[in-house]
Chains A and B, each alone.
Chain A
Amino acid sequence: MSQPQLHLALEIGGATADTEIAAAAEAAGFALVTIADSPLAGDRIEAGVRAAHLARRTRRIGLGPNLHVTTTEPFHLATQLASLDHASLGRGAWVVGAESSPAAFATVGNPPLTGDDLRREIADVIDVTRQLWDSWEDDAIIRDTATGRFLDAGKVHHVNFTGERFSIVGPLITPRPPQGQLVVLGADTLGVTGRLDIALIDAPDPDPLRRRAQQARADGAPLVFADLTGNPAELLGLIDRVGGIVDGVRLRLTDPADFPRLAAALGREPVTGPALRDTLGLPRPANRFAAA
């Protein structure tokens, strides 16, 4: 086989067996699990809480909770994700959510955003989150007993972000995540592809998939994954058809209980990590605030 092996991601979320499935996905060579969520899914464990718990029940696999920019405080979102990366020793990811129904906005008492306003909000939250992750330089904690300085204030930065609907001074309360920047995934339809590490494309047919993958790469996404849904046999067929077009696939099983059959058919060895960026071949980004 001449093409590099596709990265595998598995979508979970909401099942009582999430912990077992994530562990099985790790054993089956998946690079990450993404954890579906919605501010309207009150009957589920919130995805960020689930991901943090999984961080200590797994060792190699990446963990990507779906957190929504529309119904959270961006500062909390950035802190929660940075903390996930610390707790998992560098396996954190973020699936950008933009739940935009009027009911979702009503949970935070805000009027709905649509169209360009929504796109601008998504872009602003991603931008400020990335800036906040860089607000502490890697070597900000100096512990210099001679001068009594624990921190070097020159390496902990205000971000002074001003977006369309909010502003944030920073810095984050949490030191820089182990990966520098978590791996950010999002649909190519959000209109923010250039801000993503992985563009997710929901188009199983090769022709539209190829077209949209080319567009996503042109827009600046380092990696492109195809979103595929089905039973194990259908997924194996789809994976064969998208090889060479995308860098990876994110799989959704119509029945999560079928996972062992899918895993056996794929026959992969566990990834070696240790960080999710290592698994995906993504470099650890330089800090935008560090002096060159």
Chain B
Amino acid sequence: MSYRLHLGVFFTGVGPQTIWTDPAFTSHTHIDRFVDTIRTLERGLFDAFFLGEGLRVRENRGRVHELDVAGRPDAITQLAALAAETTHIGLVATQNTTYNFPADLARRLASLDAISGGRAGWNIVTTDNAWTGENFRYGGWLPHERRYERANAFVETAKTLWGGAPVDRHDDLIDVTAGPTVPARPVLFQAGDSAGGRDLAARHADVVFSANTDYDKALAYAADLRERLAAYGRSADSLRILPGAAVVLGDTPADAAEKARYIQREQVTGPRALAFLEQYWGKDLSGYDPEGPLPDIEPAEGELDPSRGTIAIEHRTGKAERIAGWRKLAAERNLSLRDLVIEVTPQHSTFVGTPSQIADEWQRYVENRAVDGFNILPQLLPGTVEDIVDKLVPELQSRGIYRTEYEGTTLREHLDLPA
């Protein structure tokens, strides 16, 4: 049997991956642009459209970060509006379990599922970030090591309410007395890659939005996850794996490579390279030339704060060693400040090539069950989305690994999940 490929688009709405300097870019906040995007995706028979979440505007050294796109809607509100503009595509809201009330969020997700005719998904994320918590009633209440305990308890609460039963639970993680919601069964997505995240996925998730995109990593990850599923009595086929991926299409391999180079240089502009290093130096570096050498001054005392929202907790310490490593790498390879940042910036795995090349590669992934599909992070708006739908989708269809029409109406049906 040839396994089917499933596709989503992850619309982050913040961060450097969206090339706002591109001449074709108009707006990433206007509702009409969201409607255009999701209708194009529905024409391309996509499984799902995802919205990201970030509950504090990113900052750089205490000041709002100016260089990236920013400004996004409440995900559930936006998806409820987009539900009225579409008929099939799944609508996935990223929502965290730390700074939400369980009964309130469960009710809003159930409402989205009901109003869209069974198309809602919830991308479950956690945070311990007290800086983000400064926008909420109980900022910083949850210790880092307990964030997945809270997430599991939160998801259990939501599932109970969706299933038609009340919840009356009072402990140090959950304090709720609430009645059931409208009947609902949103598809549960999970993105965390830590052991706690994988465990939450194995217990509760229908889909994982993983970071393991490279072929060998994807295979190993799939094996690990299927083992964990078995430990919770779930079948290997009860979970879909959709890693994040960027896609750069060209009419020829050289054309695609050139476009990829353009995207990378636009993503790491000189000012962005300086701002990236300022997070680690903790000092104003605006006087340095991005095309010159790394700053020769020493960084500020103290470890990193998470105020950009982009630095994983394991990277918030040990900056002295990190900076020493960068200096060594820049010296060895004679890299400018900006080239060094391009080299060390975490990149989402990118597929670069002609539609036929990428379709061949994805066929290998899906037939060997390294993945069940991809969740695509668009870099050019509307270019990435239009290119994929108009050029890559037909190649996938001709290989028999992608649908030629929607066979069901719910997100659960699109993903071939157990009923």
A interface residues, Cβ below 8 angstroms from B: 39-40, 42-46, 48-50, 52-57, 71-76, 79-80, 82-84, 86-89, 103, 106-109, 136, 141, 143, 145, 147-153, 156, 165-175
Contacts and interface: CB of A to CB of B under 8 A. Distances in A.
A103 B177 CA distance: 8
A168 to B, nearest CB: 5
A4 B284 CA distance: 60
B178 A49 contact: no
Contacts of B231: none
Contact of A173 (B71, B108, B170, B178): B71
B104 to A, nearest CB: 6
10 contacts: A39-B104, A42-B182, A45-B111, A52-B81, A72-B101, A75-B55, A108-B176, A172-B57, A173-B72, A174-B73
Contacts of A53: 80-81, 83-84, 115
Given A52-B77, A56-B81, A107-B103, 17 more contacts: A40-B179, A45-B115, A49-B112, A49-B115, A50-B115, A52-B78, A53-B84, A76-B74, A82-B73, A103-B177, A106-B176, A107-B101, A109-B176, A150-B69, A168-B134, A173-B71, A174-B72
B114 interface: yes
B349 to A, nearest CB: 25
Interface of B: 20-21, 29-31, 35, 54-57, 63-74, 76-78, 80-85, 99-101, 103-104, 107-108, 111-112, 114-115, 134-137, 161, 170, 174-182, 269-272
B78 A87 contact: yes
B72 A150 contact: no
Instruction: Tell which of B56, B83, B137, B175 has the most Cβ of chain A within 10 Å.
Output: B137
B66 A107 contact: no
A73 B180 contact: no
A46 B108 CA distance: 6
A87 B69 CA distance: 19
Given A52-B78, A71-B101, A168-B134, A143 B72 contact: no
A147 B269 CA distance: 10
B164 to A, nearest CB: 10
Nearest to A149: B66
A73 B100 contact: yes
A44 B114 CA distance: 10
B137 A173 contact: no
A147 B111 contact: no
Given A46-B108, A46-B111, A151-B64, A143 B20 contact: yes
10 tightest A-B contacts by CB? A109-B175, A56-B84, A52-B80, A83-B73, A87-B81, A49-B111, A106-B177, A83-B77, A46-B111, A153-B64
Contacts of A48: 76-77, 80, 108
Nearest to A77: B74
Contacts of B66: 149-153
Nearest to A57: B84
A74 B80 CA distance: 20
Contacts of B104: 39, 71-73, 76, 107-108
Contacts of B65: 151, 153
Contact of B107 (A46, A52, A151, A169): A46
A49 B103 CA distance: 15
A120 B137 CA distance: 15
A149 B177 CA distance: 47
Contacts of B270: 148
B57 A86 contact: no
A89 B271 CA distance: 34
Contact of B176 (A56, A73, A83, A107): A107
